[in-house]
Chains A and B, each alone.
Chain A
Amino acid sequence: MTNPSPATGIQLPDQPGPVLSVRDLQVVFDTETGPVTVVDHLSFDLHAGKTLGMVGESGSGKSVSALALMGLIPPPGRVCGGTAMFDGQDLLHATPRELQSVRGARIAMIFQEPMTALNPVFSIGDQIAEMFHIHQSLSKHEAWGQAVAAIERVGIPDPKVRAEAYPHQLSGGMRQRAMIAMALACHPDVLIADEATTALDTTVQAQILDLILDLQAAEGMAILFISHNLAVVSEVADDVLVIYAGRTAETAPAESFFEDPLHPYSQGLLATLPSADLRGKPLPTIPGMVPGPHETITGCRFKPRCTVAEDRCAANVPPLQSVSGDRHVACIKAGNRSHAG
């Protein structure tokens, strides 16, 4: 935490330190063609009672970063650098046993694909009850009662009957809610929500977001909220981190970010949203694709798609620089904006 590399937000003197502090996280996948860096020097802080929204293109490393914190990177991936300090403990260097006691109970995750996280051969009630049984040493019977209550809280109708259902018997949105119930079961200090409401309709989404934010207000949970849906992020996040090809492109308080995105990639993202006046017309897109991790691009990784790029963008990886107060941008041109007004 004494590491001076750029983090998100400024530290107010009377603000308690972050609950989880990630510095220079680096994740590599060993592929046939050699190691590829999928997450590169990622740093951020999560504060109690606050939500950090993480946005970025498909394949930019959001899920991999989250899984790294949980110690769940699948082989051939591995964490090869950085620290993630949680309650005096570095999660990236913890033993499997230490992680086991943190995971689920103190740091919980809502996974992007519920089908891969839920066990197909156990009922959802059994799987949630298991959490209470292991982490709160409740009896089997009490744990089942708690599981039914948890299922009810996330708005699944007929919780008693549905607790007996297997994952394949539930709709996509219900599986998602079952997973949210499991994640919130033990009142974690940190919640990592990876596309948590993507599979839900707007009314259920609003209910789930209310549930999560109410819990946050009551218990001071810190949240890492990963989502493609910028509108949802704008309604839950205190701060925003934009990740591009494994690196931080921009960090800012949510309000100023949505008012005035500074990185050209962030500007492109906000411009691609469908709106009423674009109906029937092609939507603006950011041309091209995120570079594959094996593609070697020197300098700014966004340069091939950037509409304002200059030759000097290819010279060096643009460092994450403070632009004004609590805003940081990894673009050599973003600093000039203050002159432009």
Chain B
Amino acid sequence: MPDSPPDIPREYTPQAETEGPLLRVCNLTKHFELREPGLFGRVTGTVQAVTDVSFEIHRGETFAIVGESGCGKSTLAKTIATIYPADFGEVWFSGNRLADISTGDLKSTRRRVQMIFQDPFGSLNPRMTAAEIIAEPLVIHAMGDKVEQRQRTREVAEAVGLDTGDLNRYPHQFSGGQRQRIAIARAIAPKPKLVIADEPLSALDVSIQSQILNLMVALQHRENLTYFFISHDLAAVRHVAGRVAVMYLGRIVEMADTEALFADARHPYTQALIAALPEIGHGKKRRAAAPAGDVPSPLAPPPGCPFHPRCPKAQDLCRVERPELATVKKARKGHLAACHFSDPEKPQE
């Protein structure tokens, strides 16, 4: 495919289990219809949550997604995890197209793709004990007998730093951070290949965050895990991710190696994200100015570049033509951005 950028997979042929990327997402699109209340309510709008997203995740890497609240990160994750059906596009896991997989295989694929959900409270069944919650995927996938399941439960509970004496307590009896550890233990219990972690750190305090980050890295090496890591915490992303994609209004607007992204961000939204990163040592009220303008609506994304209403660099071209995600000039291999002016040396009008 000489004329398509190397990192945007447009077509994909099945490969053997151990070759090629672990996950390949092609042109994935997921929209939601908003309806008036009631069973047959009128459609009042369509939320364009995820539009034409393509990327791949290599075996053993940590791929991170960052972006605006509401830009579609969780929707993307849930669509990949087959919790939501896609409207359009394909997801390939380990060389198999997810839609083609027969029911039996889908179940085993589901075991190999585990998700840590964003809301650690809402996603834990309040009527189950911590031990039951952690063991549930083992029961669903009939992994081992009762004794082995109990053993694995204790093992992962210890691995995430839960007190095994507390395992017969219910979710509401744990603090927010402890609940997040239950969610992580549950996800790693059935020995998955890909762990989709949707904001796994946001409920944790810094010292536990660093323990969990270290734990995730250690588990990654030991169990050859691949992570799809969603986080608002740029410092954590920078620490663990090999590559980062930045989403804005349902689309990927920049993708690069982590170091390249932080050192040489080319999309103005990425630049704003990094500039707004709070830092110790500035004191009260000396925060970087947030980008001006209203956050646009996923119900009616602006024409042209979706970022143009807030972009300090926007030109007339930006208001009419949407920039494609393309390789940026004078950058490291695999650095993509969707901005008409991603090349800093190209003169602006």
Chain B residue nearest in CB terms to A210: B290
**How far is B296's CA from A158's CA once the two chains are assembled, in angstroms?**
8
24 sample A-B contacts, Cβ–Cβ < 8 Å, listed by A number = A58-B176, A112-B203, A116-B122, A157-B299, A158-B45, A169-B34, A172-B69, A174-B70, A229-B206, A231-B278, A231-B280, A235-B286, A254-B283, A258-B281, A270-B280, A272-B210, A274-B235, A274-B238, A276-B238, A276-B262, A278-B239, A279-B238, A284-B210, A285-B207
Question: Does the CB pair B68–A292 fall under 8 Å?
Answer: no
Chain A residue nearest in CB terms to B75: A171
CB proximity of B219 to chain A, nearest CB, Å: 13
**How far is B292's CA from A155's CA once the two chains are assembled, in angstroms?**
11
Which residues of chain A come closer than 8 Å to B165, judged between CB atoms?
Answer: 292
Contact partner, B213, options A165, A173, A274, Cβ 8 Å: A274
Residue from B172, B281, B294, B295 whose CB has the most chain A CB atoms within 10 Å: B295
Which residues of chain A come closer than 8 Å to B206, judged between CB atoms?
Answer: 228-230, 269, 272-273
**How far is B221's CA from A280's CA once the two chains are assembled, in angstroms?**
13
Number of interface residues of B (CB under 8 A): 77
Which residues of chain A come closer than 8 Å to B297, judged between CB atoms?
Answer: 157-158
Given contacts A273-B206, A283-B239, are A203 and B163 in contact (CB under 8 A)? no
Q: For the complex, would chain B's binding face be called helix, strand, loop or mixed by DSSP majority?
A: loop
A interface residues (Cβ-Cβ under 8 A, vs B) = 51, 55-60, 63, 74, 112-113, 115-116, 123, 155-158, 161, 164-165, 169-174, 176-177, 195, 198-207, 209-210, 213, 228-232, 234-238, 254-255, 258, 268-270, 272-276, 278-280, 282-286, 289, 292
Which residues of chain A come closer than 8 Å to B208, judged between CB atoms?
Answer: 57-58
Query: For window 163-213 of chain B, which residues contact chain A by CB distance below 8 Å?
Result: 163, 165-166, 172, 174-178, 199, 202-211, 213
Which residues of chain B come closer than 8 Å to A177, judged between CB atoms?
Answer: 69
Question: Does the CB pair B295–A157 fall under 8 Å?
Answer: yes
* B276 within 8 A of partner (CB): yes
Question: Does the CB pair A115–B121 fall under 8 Å?
Answer: yes
Task: Please name the 7 residue pairs, one residue from A and one from B, whose CB atoms are nearest each other, closest first.
Answer: A173-B69, A58-B177, A59-B175, A283-B210, A206-B290, A157-B297, A171-B70
**How far is B211's CA from A230's CA once the two chains are assembled, in angstroms?**
16
CB proximity of A34 to chain B, nearest CB, Å: 15
Given contacts A171-B69, A171-B74, A272-B206, are A203 and B283 in contact (CB under 8 A)? no
**How far is B69's CA from A199's CA once the two chains are assembled, in angstroms?**
8
**How far is B284's CA from A232's CA once the two chains are assembled, in angstroms?**
9
